[in-house]
Amino acid sequence: MTTFRARLRGVLCGAGLGLCGVALVLLVVMLLRTYGTRPSGPATGLRAERQRRALAAFSPRELQELKEVLQGAVRMKTVSFSPDDQNITALAEFKPYIYKAFPRVFSTSFIQHEIIGDYSHLFTIQGSNPQLQPYMLIAHIDVVPASPDGWDVSDPFSAEERDGFIYGRGTLDNKNSAMGILHALEFLLRRNYRPQRSFYIGLGHDEEVDGKKGAMKIVAELQSRGVQLSFVLDEGSFIFNGVISRKEKPIAVIAITEKGALNINLSVTSSPGHSSAPPKRTSIGILSEALYKLETQPMPNLFGRGPEIRMFEELVPALSFPLNIVMANLWFFASLVGRFLEQNPTTNPLVRTTTAISMFHAGIKTNVIPPRASASVNFRIHPSQTIDEVMRIVEEKIDDKSVKIEVMNAFDPSHVSPWDDQTFGTQVLHQTILDVFPDVAIVAPGVCIGNTDSRHYSNLTKAIYRFNPVTFKADDLSRFHGLNERISMKDYAKQVEFLFQLIQNCDLNQPTEPNTYHHEL
């Protein structure tokens, strides 16, 4: 008895030591991954030649001008209601407006302006050195509709200033970029800056309704001219402040991909009849059951399988204990973190393909069994999934032949752009963020959960980045396409300064770029 007990104790103790040993090794590995040296994003080889640049010390007069030009743009009701219903009167007014607001841009001999697809704008800025591969800055001038209900200001198109903010539809999405790019160029030209590297500016007019008439036509035009771009910069991510936890420093996230989308229609047809002698199952009941299955059994949690994991890994140095240990060791904690992120509707889209039932139509009268019920479901596809995989899961889940499933439109997640020190776009964006936002702790790659015009640019470059250099706080998400969209004048001036520096940083030499580019614009 004693010998058995002693032996048992020995075995348990050995196992305990074994477990302790494993735990100790795990702990050491985790600490090393957390506090050890790690590559902190792409190194930048662009620091030379600093002194030649024009300074972005905007005068009070220039700041006033920035504000008034942005306000005027917001007051133009360039609303996209649907692909076939846009306010073309307002879109047409945009051309004379920018012509007047940016006199130097329109009178400079090395800048060409073209209208594409009736209302979109393409600028070609011919650099002095045709050896350098051009890049492109894009934005859009259309906005989603806004009714005054619920806004703190009386009219979402008044561009009213309040407490240092300009309120109005389009102040963040995306007239700030459209006006900001042109204003940065205008200010550089007024300081007699002549870019060495050529670049393009593309302002689409139908981004909010898919970009087929604007961005796609601009891309087709450039493709027909044989243009290849070194990188494209569009909207789509921000400088986040206090979003992850309240104390960390601001973090700049540049989206290197965006989610795909899939719209399906589900319909059920049954024979019509009187409600006094109903069939066992009605079209509404059958369709509801299918929708119930889709809504209550979400698509799989894929956290860690796509590029979203890189953002969390690169955040480590900005996080405090114990979050830093967790994020540095996602090889161990990914499923835990994934389950945590899915609890919150704002982070859930990062971990999975989302499912949103967006329309439902059936029935006309209380005593008539409707012959047909139909509904639309919108999925936003996680970067590690494809349209086909999502459709297969949808069919498996619904598992009912009487429900007809039709694909309305769909596109796969975007190709993931390179994020490394060999890529000019990554380097120049990283450098410019450090120059203009010295308090930013980390520049990390991320995923855009919405869609932008930039997804149409894949034939022109592999390097597509989505970043709007304004600060985004925890309560700002709902302002997009929502109430009280606004930008602070301080942020807007910083955005223009960023673009102003970016254009100049693109002229710095980059040792890794092969110097063999020849292209006639």
Pick the catalytic residue from 160, 186, 206, 207.
Answer: 207
Q: Which of 361, 404, 473, 490 binds ligand NAG (CB under 6 A)?
A: 361
Pick the catalytic residue from 142, 160, 248, 485.
Answer: 142
174 is in the binding site of which of Zn ion, ligand NAG, none (Cβ under 5 to 8 A by kind)? Zn ion
378 is in the binding site of which of ligand NAG, Zn ion, none (Cβ under 5 to 8 A by kind)? none
376 is in the binding site of which of ligand NAG, Zn ion, none (Cβ under 5 to 8 A by kind)? ligand NAG
List the alpha helices (DSSP H) in 141-260.
175-190, 215-224
In the bound state with ligand NAG, the residue whose beta carbon lies nearer, of 288 and 458, is: 458
- Residue of 279, 272, 292 whose CA lies nearest to 403: 292
Interface mask toward ligand NAG for 410-449; x: CB under 6 A: ----------------------------------------
475 as an active site residue: the answer is no
**Separation of alpha carbons 157 and 167, rounded Å:** 8
Residue 425 exposure: Cα atoms within 13 Å on the Cβ side = 26
512 is in the binding site of which of ligand NAG, Zn ion, none (Cβ under 5 to 8 A by kind)? none
**Separation of alpha carbons 247 and 82, rounded Å:** 42
Q: Does residue 454 touch Zn ion according to CB under 5 A?
A: no
Footprint (CB under 5 A) of Zn ion, residues 222-241: none
**Separation of alpha carbons 344 and 338, rounded Å:** 11
Ramachandran assignment for 471, one of left (phi > 0), alpha (psi -120 to 50 degrees), beta (any other): beta
219 is in the binding site of which of Zn ion, ligand NAG, none (Cβ under 5 to 8 A by kind)? ligand NAG
In the bound state with ligand NAG, the residue whose beta carbon lies nearer, of 60 and 226, is: 226
At 207, phi and psi to the nearest 5? -60, -40
Q: Does residue 288 touch ligand NAG according to CB under 6 A?
A: no
Which window, 181-189, 245-253, 370-378, 426-434, contacts ligand NAG (CB under 6 A)? Answer: 370-378
| Two structure tokens written together for 389 | 């995989």
| Torsion, Cα of 469, 125, 103, 487 (10° steps) | -10
- For tokens 């010390």, the residue is 57
Q: Does residue 485 touch Zn ion according to CB under 5 A?
A: no
In the bound state with Zn ion, the residue whose beta carbon lies nearer, of 269 and 378, is: 378
Q: How far is the CB of 385 from ligand NAG (least distance, A)?
A: 20
In the bound state with ligand NAG, the residue whose beta carbon lies nearer, of 85 and 388, is: 85
In the bound state with ligand NAG, the residue whose beta carbon lies nearer, of 265 and 488, is: 265
Q: How far is the CB of 172 from Zn ion (least distance, A)?
A: 8
Q: How many CB atoms lie within 10 A of CB 276?
A: 7
In the bound state with ligand NAG, the residue whose beta carbon lies nearer, of 79 and 433, is: 79
Q: How far is the CB of 294 from ligand NAG (least distance, A)?
A: 15
* Helix, strand, coil fractions of the chain, as percent rounded to 5: 40, 20, 40
| Two structure tokens written together for 286 | 């059958």
In the bound state with ligand NAG, the residue whose beta carbon lies nearer, of 216 and 440, is: 216
Footprint (CB under 6 A) of ligand NAG, residues 240-269: 265
Contact 129, 209 (CB under 8 A): no
Q: How far is the CB of 360 from ligand NAG (least distance, A)?
A: 6
Q: How far is the CB of 223 from ligand NAG (least distance, A)?
A: 6
Long-range interactions of 509-512: CB distance < 8 A, separation 24+: 509/46, 509/48, 509/49, 510/45, 510/46, 510/424, 510/427, 510/428, 511/45, 512/45, 512/421, 512/422, 512/424, 512/427
207 as an active site residue: the answer is yes
The side-by-side arrangement of strands in the sheet containing 372-381 is 354-362, 372-381, 260-269, 404-411
Interface mask toward Zn ion for 167-196; x: CB under 5 A: ------xx----------------------
Q: Does residue 376 touch ligand NAG according to CB under 6 A?
A: yes
Q: Which residues are annotated as a binding site for Zn(2+)?
A: 140, 173, 208, 234, 481
Q: How far is the CB of 455 from ligand NAG (least distance, A)?
A: 8
Q: Does residue 146 touch ligand NAG according to CB under 6 A?
A: no
In the bound state with ligand NAG, the residue whose beta carbon lies nearer, of 86 and 329, is: 86
Q: How far is the CB of 373 from ligand NAG (least distance, A)?
A: 8
At 30, phi and psi to the nearest 5? -65, -40
237-246 core/surface letters (b: 16 or more CB in 10 A; e: else): bbbbbbbbee
Maximum Cα–Cα distance across the chain: 100
Footprint (CB under 6 A) of ligand NAG, residues 32-51: none
**Separation of alpha carbons 91 and 140, rounded Å:** 11
Reduced to 3 states (helix: H, G, I; strand: E, B; else coil), residue 152 is coil
**Separation of alpha carbons 147 and 107, rounded Å:** 38
Footprint (CB under 6 A) of ligand NAG, residues 447-466: 456, 458-459
Footprint (CB under 6 A) of ligand NAG, residues 51-110: 76-77, 79, 87, 89-90, 93
Beta-strand ranges (E) seen in 106-234 are 111-116, 120-125, 135-140, 161-162, 165-167, 199-204, 232-234
Sorted by sequence, the CB contacts under 8 Å of residue 406 that are 6+ apart come out as 264, 265, 266, 267
Binding site for ligand NAG (CB under 6 A): 76-77, 79, 87, 89-90, 93, 219, 265, 359, 361, 374-376, 456, 458-459
Catalytic residues: 142, 207
Binding site for Zn ion (CB under 5 A): 173-174
